[in-house]
Amino acid sequence: MPELPEVETVCRGLEQALVGDRFSRVTLRRENLRFPFAEGFAETLTGRAVERIQRRAKYILMTLEGGVVMIGHLGMSGSFRIEPAPVQGAEFDKHDHIIFETAAGLRVRYHDPRRFGFMLLTTTALLDQHPQLIGIGPEPLGNSFNGPALAARLAGRKSPIKAALLDQKVVAGVGNIYACEALFRSRISPKRVSDSIRGVRADRLAVAIRQVLEEAILSGGSTLRNYSQTSGELGYFQHRFLVYDKEGAPCPTEGCGGLVQRLVQSGRSTFYCPKCQR
């Protein structure tokens, strides 16, 4: 599933192409994705200019004139592709489920083979209280995210720290890949009890989370299966993984001598070095 860096990369691509442009036509090629489309979905968006595109956690928030907001989620396999509008009658892939066309002559295809993504409508006035967004934790790239803020979110939690980092109420947008990588960089065991992450440990982890996310964004995200940028280009941060999907490989920490191991936590694979992560 795309995590914060992948969604941020997609948002930046959409922002560059669409902000200031206007949807001239929106075509739904099926009645639903993970959820049914709102009644009048295409009609509501058609004719409106795109004012702002931003990310919240793993959600794409597209604000259009008149206070309309489209909340998008890529699910497991969703992607947007921006391209010049083709000639009339051009064929679509069977998994191209929504087609956005703009006044400036662009076409944006939403492609989602597994259909776990969704697009919902709300308004700017109701956005903060929307069920998909309410209760989400702090943005790890925001100015207010630091060791003390993270420790406060973890206080009293007895779950393993890896599981806590996947809880979007603790920190927004961090998923399995980047939780593994951040824990390795901060030398914290994924099995450590969350409530024990305080002081220097919390400071190290907060810094590692921010660093790994920022580096992944600069690399265009990680492409393991379906993810691609809006241009169709793949992300390449997967070539810089230190432990994720490296089971049996030597620990990359100089002088450690350990091997990367895999364990399953909450149904997800965790990769770590038991020798240098404590």
Task: Judge whether 160 counts as a catalytic residue.
Answer: no
In DSSP terms, 74 is beta-bridged to none
Task: Judge whether 3 counts as a catalytic residue.
Answer: yes
Q: How far apart are CA 175 and CA 2, in angstroms?
A: 8
Task: Judge whether 2 counts as a catalytic residue.
Answer: yes
Planar angle of CA 148, 176, 5, nearest 5 degrees = 80
In the set 58, 107, 109, 204, the catalytic residue is 58
In the set 3, 6, 15, 181, the catalytic residue is 3
In the set 157, 191, 198, 268, the catalytic residue is 268
In the set 2, 138, 160, 190, the catalytic residue is 2
Planar angle of CA 53, 58, 63, nearest 5 degrees = 20
Closest CA to 57 of 192, 186, 175: 175
Task: Judge whether 58 counts as a catalytic residue.
Answer: yes
- DSSP for 81-139, please give it: EEEE---TT----TTEEEEEEETTSEEEEEE-SS---EEEEEETTTGGG-TTTTT----
Active site residues: 2-3, 58, 268
